[in-house]
Chain A
Amino acid sequence: MKIAVASGKGGTGKTTLSLALAGYLANRGYRVSLMDCDVEEPNVNLFLKANIRAVEQVSVPIPVVDGDKCTGCGLCERICAFNAIAVVSGKPLIFKDICHSCGGCMLVCPERAIREVPKEIGDIEEGSAGAISYIGGRLRVGEAISPPLIGAVRKHYADSHYTVIDAPPGTSCPVMAAVRGCDAIVLVTEPTPFGLNDLKLAVETMKRLDYPLGVVINRAGMGDDGVERYCAEEGISVLASLAHSREIAEKYAAGEVVEEFIRFFDGELGEIVSGLERLTGIRAVEVK
């Protein structure tokens, strides 16, 4: 089963829950892959501390123009849906950092004056920690477009009963790239007005993908019951509520949260796994 752990709001506990779920399942003898798809701020391995076996660079194709062949006709500018090309004074200016590498400009150029060159956008590292296989992406500082890197992380396949995907926060393209093709989405939220506001945005976004979806309320007890009421009204399954704990927060700050979290929330993690089995109809033993 591929479980994507996402949220609208940042800082709700996606990474902590991803690590805990992976650890919980590995402790029960399953083969588990943990994918860090939050490539703009990858922090899974700060806690997992996997031994890295291999690092590969990921590039995207970016157009360059042969000034001798270019006639300044402007077809490349017109085809570009991302405003990344401006033909000024007969000369195309290409803005690499907003190019989406679609190749349209190269296809329409009647002079064949455009070719593509690779631009490195980040790295993927692979390793393992105990029974957990780890795959994580890291976007280069200054790069604006992460979905190609997230897609490359997702293409990595490890033979596992469970794959846990730590998705980026928000509701835009990077999240879509991270959750696409999963079996279920877990939205982590906190029981505050801010948490609820962003949870609603995430639910509206994820509904369009039509994947089974459940909510985990983290730091339960610190806010109000707005999230629970919303989930009841919308018919969204609350998989578990994880009580707010100062002890857990202290362990997190010390970088040692995972073992403590699994011990502390053993019952709740079990509820999440059985809830996901119920939502998806997939049991790990049936997974190849």
Chain B
Amino acid sequence: MKIALSAEGNGLDYKIDERFGRSLGFIIYDLDQESLEHVENRQNREAAQGAGIQAARTIVDSGASVLVTGHVGPKAFAVLKTAGVEIYTVTGATVREGIERYREGVLKRIDSADVEGHW
């Protein structure tokens, strides 16, 4: 099973990027194989609009069934929800801590967007 985390860099010790749509990138972590893949988010970060929608597409296309990030706006939430991706939020943690906390079941799961667009 794969879990996606918005990340400030390519590695487990980078911070989780609190922004979702305009995150610096994403770590796609395979919990069973304990393997890591990094996905750039440059194109969405520079999009004039719809960054959250396209970032959500990136997550859906990666095959991850769980997203751990800082905040999610309404449009990204709609895409992720339609695809059945579970969303958990965390702030001030590294990617490694995010994965550990997800495994321990202590992350907060959200069932609606927790911020307005462009927060």
Q: Footprint of B on A, CB under 8 Å?
A: 82-84, 86, 88-89, 91, 93, 95, 98
* Pairwise interchain contact A95-B75, C-beta atoms closer than 8 A: yes
- Chain A residues with CB below 8 A from B50, complex form: 82-84, 95, 98
Q: Nearest chain A CB to B56's CB is how many angstroms away?
A: 7
* Pairwise interchain contact B49-A86, C-beta atoms closer than 8 A: no
Q: Quick one: which of B65-94 are within 8 Å of A by CB?
A: 75, 78-79, 82-84
Known: A93-B79, A95-B75, A98-B49. A86 touches B84 (CB 8 A): no
**Interface assignment of B60: CB less than 8 Å from any CB of chain A:** yes
Question: CB-CB contacts of B41-58 with A at 8 A, as 1s and 0s?
Answer: 000000111110110110
Task: Determine the distance from Cα of A93 to Cα of B53 in the docked complex, in whole angstroms.
Answer: 10
* Pairwise interchain contact A88-B75, C-beta atoms closer than 8 A: no
Known: A88-B60, A95-B75. A83 touches B82 (CB 8 A): no
Q: Which residue of B lies closest to A100 (CB)?
A: B49
* Pairwise interchain contact B47-A88, C-beta atoms closer than 8 A: no
* Pairwise interchain contact A89-B51, C-beta atoms closer than 8 A: no
* Pairwise interchain contact B47-A83, C-beta atoms closer than 8 A: yes
A–B complex contacts, Cβ < 8 Å, 22 sampled: A82-B49, A82-B50, A83-B47, A83-B53, A84-B50, A84-B53, A86-B54, A86-B56, A86-B57, A88-B56, A88-B57, A88-B60, A88-B79, A88-B82, A88-B83, A89-B84, A93-B53, A93-B79, A93-B82, A95-B53, A95-B75, A95-B78
Q: How many chain B residues touch A (Cβ–Cβ < 8 Å)?
A: 16
Q: Nearest chain B CB to A107's CB is how many angstroms away?
A: 20
Known: A83-B47, A95-B75. A89 touches B82 (CB 8 A): yes
* Pairwise interchain contact A91-B53, C-beta atoms closer than 8 A: no
Task: Determine the distance from Cα of A86 to Cα of B49 in the docked complex, in whole angstroms.
Answer: 13
Q: Nearest chain B CB to A126's CB is how many angstroms away?
A: 32
Q: Which residue of B lies closest to A98 (CB)?
A: B49
* Pairwise interchain contact A93-B49, C-beta atoms closer than 8 A: no
- Chain B residues with CB below 8 A from A82, complex form: 48-50
Task: Determine the distance from Cα of A86 to Cα of B59 in the docked complex, in whole angstroms.
Answer: 12
Q: Nearest chain A CB to B53's CB is how many angstroms away?
A: 5
* Pairwise interchain contact A83-B79, C-beta atoms closer than 8 A: no
Q: Nearest chain B CB to A186's CB is how many angstroms away?
A: 28
Q: Nearest chain A CB to B63's CB is how many angstroms away?
A: 13
Task: Determine the distance from Cα of A39 to Cα of B48 in the docked complex, in whole angstroms.
Answer: 21
Task: Determine the distance from Cα of A98 to Cα of B50 in the docked complex, in whole angstroms.
Answer: 7
Q: Which residue of A lies closest to B80 (CB)?
A: A88
Task: Determine the distance from Cα of A121 to Cα of B32 in the docked complex, in whole angstroms.
Answer: 50
Q: Nearest chain A CB to B80's CB is how many angstroms away?
A: 8
Task: Determine the distance from Cα of A93 to Cα of B76 in the docked complex, in whole angstroms.
Answer: 11
Known: A83-B49, A98-B49. A93 touches B54 (CB 8 A): no
- Chain A residues with CB below 8 A from B56, complex form: 86, 88
Known: A93-B79, A95-B75. A83 touches B51 (CB 8 A): yes
| In the complex, the 10 A-B pairs of residues with the closest C-beta atoms, listed nearest first | A83-B50, A88-B82, A88-B83, A86-B79, A86-B53, A98-B49, A83-B53, A83-B54, A88-B79, A89-B83
Q: Which residue of A lies closest to B54 (CB)?
A: A83
- Chain B residues with CB below 8 A from A83, complex form: 47, 49-51, 53-54
- Chain A residues with CB below 8 A from B57, complex form: 86, 88
- Chain A residues with CB below 8 A from B60, complex form: 88
Question: CB-CB contacts of B20-35 with A at 8 A, as 1s and 0s?
Answer: 0000000000000000
Most A CB contacts (10 A, CB to CB) among B49, B54, B56, B60 go to B49
- Chain A residues with CB below 8 A from B82, complex form: 88-89, 91, 93
Most B CB contacts (10 A, CB to CB) among A82, A88, A98 go to A88
